[in-house]
Chains A and B, each alone.
Chain A
Amino acid sequence: QVQLQESGPGLVKPSETLSLTCIVSGGSVNSDSHYWSWIRQPPGKRLEWIGYIYGSGSTYYNPSLKSRVTMSVDTSKNQLSLRLSSVTAADTAVYYCVRGACNLSCYQHYHFDVWGRGTLVTVSS
């Protein structure tokens, strides 16, 4: 059974870069039928999709965050990373690492079937 575990600093200063990692256990980031996303949830607000990455390293980011987001994958460590630059208080949220289902070769993406427990990141001086 695949499990996802996010980790990273719980407090980041405004204008700095938020960096999180997600360790994938019980499965491979190189799966042919899955992709990986980061999703965040600001306090009291709806879930916001940040983007996705394949085990190959190909990415797609939400246009609303594209200029500040970088996702990467380390297949040797079976882990994913998220970097969000120039953060403000509006980036305060619980950040989730999430697995998405897709068809073979992933040219079609489907629902999110496995979620990490999430990690709270607060942006404050």
Chain B
Amino acid sequence: DFVMTQSPDSLAVSLGERATINCNSSQSVLYSSNDKNYLAWYQQKPGQPPKLLIYWASTRQSGVPDRFSGSGSGTDFALTISSLQAEDVAVYYCQQYYSTPRTFGQGTKLEIK
């Protein structure tokens, strides 16, 4: 199985500051035939289901604010929030869809400092 490891486990950032969450995959999720990284990011607020933020490692889902961006390739990825807003407090998960079984990171809890 692909093991997805996120860092840090928790993060406290001041309002308006940048937040960066990292995700490492135990194997590459870059599909050579189409040069796409099969990686997604989700946001989960308390009491709610996960919500898709980013797919193909860097493509924002429709309606997601442009302060959210994804980067990386192969095995190392990052989710960046350029200017943290109060409504961004949540747990963030990365997930690979390169291989079955689909696997998720352990989650990173983002809080306001």
Contact = CB atoms under 8 A, between A and B. Distances in A.
Interface residues of B, number: 22
B77 interface: no
Interface string A34-50: 00010000000011110
A120 B65 CA distance: 30
B108 to A, nearest CB: 11
A46 B104 contact: yes
A57 B50 CA distance: 26
Contact of A113 (B61, B100, B103): B61
22 contacts: A37-B102, A46-B105, A47-B93, A47-B104, A49-B101, A49-B103, A49-B104, A60-B100, A64-B101, A96-B49, A101-B55, A110-B55, A111-B40, A111-B55, A111-B95, A111-B97, A113-B52, A113-B55, A113-B61, A115-B50, A115-B51, A116-B49
The 4 closest A-B CB pairs, nearest first, are A115-B49, A111-B55, A111-B40, A49-B102
